[in-house]
Amino acid sequence: MSEPTTEHTYEIDPALAARWSPRAFSTTAELNQDLLGPAFEAARWSASSGNSQPWSFVVGFRGDDVFTMLTDSMNPGNSVWAVNASAVVASIARTHNDEGEALSHALYDLGQAVAHFSVQASANGLVVHQMGGFDATALHGSLGLDDHHAVVTLFVVGTLGDPAELSERLREREAKPRVRKPLSDFVSGSVSYP
Ligand SMILES: Cc1cc2nc3c(=O)[nH]c(=O)nc-3n(C[C@H](O)[C@H](O)[C@H](O)COP(=O)(O)O)c2cc1C
């Protein structure tokens, strides 16, 4: 099983082209600190406003307490498939500095770091599925965060599993072609893309 049908107007790097968000994860594949290392290193080297690096990540592996805490906070529609992944990560933004001033680009910077992570993971043969469907307030409390930090997304990481093991509804979603707006919808100025 590979990713669903995708079309490209221009060739892109294979790691970017291969990245997608599956729900079928191998329940036997295991990850560990070393196997996730390159993806976190990629996140480390993403750009950020004033090099503020306003991101942090909390990682759990399937079977451990952190994994259970993070997957328990997910909406049921996400946890039903996400519990099969090998690892789960909470992405956290530092939203305010020590003086209490808002770091206005923190969410942008965190998103870039997660994008770096997901592309490096893809280059290493892993799959990542990000999600906003979880109880961020409850998780903020369970992680003991202060009000200068916010849990922004969770994402699961693993190896592609067998979609036949998903429910019929999820299997149908999994097989749907991946679609995007054309370049002409969102790029303008001195260019004219199809
Ligand atoms: C911030 C964010 C929140 C998302 N939330 C969810 C979610 O709660 N559940 C889910 O199944 N997918 C979620 N996704 C995955 C998107 O649906 C997916 O990235 C999008 O449909 C594009 O598909 P692709 O990643 O395969 O290219 C989220 C992605 C992002 C970046």
pLDDT digits (tens, 9 = 90+) for 47-101: 999 999 999 999 999 999 999 999 999 999 999 999 999 999 999 999 999 999 9
Q: Name the nearest CA neighbour of 145 among 105, 106, 83, 96.
A: 96
pLDDT at 2: 59
The yes-or-no verdict on residue 129 having pLDDT over 60 is yes
pLDDT at 123: 98
79 CB within 6 A, ligand 1: no
Identify the residue whose C-alpha is closest to ligand 1 atom 13.
131
pLDDT at 4: 79
Per-residue pLDDT, averaged over 103-123, amounts to: 98
The b-or-e profile of 23-32 (16+ CB within 10 A means b, else e) is: bbbbeebebe
| Domain range list for the chain | 38-177
112 CB within 6 A, ligand 1: no
pLDDT at 3: 72
Tokens at 31, concatenated:
């990850």
pLDDT at 150: 98
pLDDT at 72: 98
21 CB within 6 A, ligand 1: yes
37 CB within 6 A, ligand 1: no
CA-75 nearest atom, ligand 1: 8
- The CATH code for residues 38-177 is 3.40.109.10
The b-or-e profile of 94-131 (16+ CB within 10 A means b, else e) is: bbbeeeeeebebbbebbbbbbbbbbbbbbbeebbbbbb
CA-20 nearest atom, ligand 1: 26
133 CB within 6 A, ligand 1: yes
Give the confidence band of 5 by pLDDT, cuts at 50, 70, 90: confident
The answer for residues whose C-beta is within 8 angstroms of residue 105's C-beta and 6 or more apart is 48, 49, 52, 54
pLDDT tens per residue, range 137-194:
999 999 999 999 999 999 999 999 999 999 999 999 999 999 999 999 999 999 999 9
118 CB within 6 A, ligand 1: no
57 CB within 6 A, ligand 1: no
pTM for the full model?
0.97
Identify the residue whose C-alpha is closest to ligand 1 atom 18.
21
The yes-or-no verdict on residue 46 having pLDDT over 60 is yes
Place of tokens 């923190």: 106
77 CB within 6 A, ligand 1: no
Burial of 151 (0-12, 13-18, 19+ CB in 10 A): buried
Backbone angles phi, psi at 160, to 5 degrees: -60, 135
The yes-or-no verdict on residue 1 having pLDDT over 60 is no
CA-133 nearest atom, ligand 1: 8
Per-residue pLDDT, averaged over 103-128, amounts to: 98
Coil, helix or strand for 108? helix
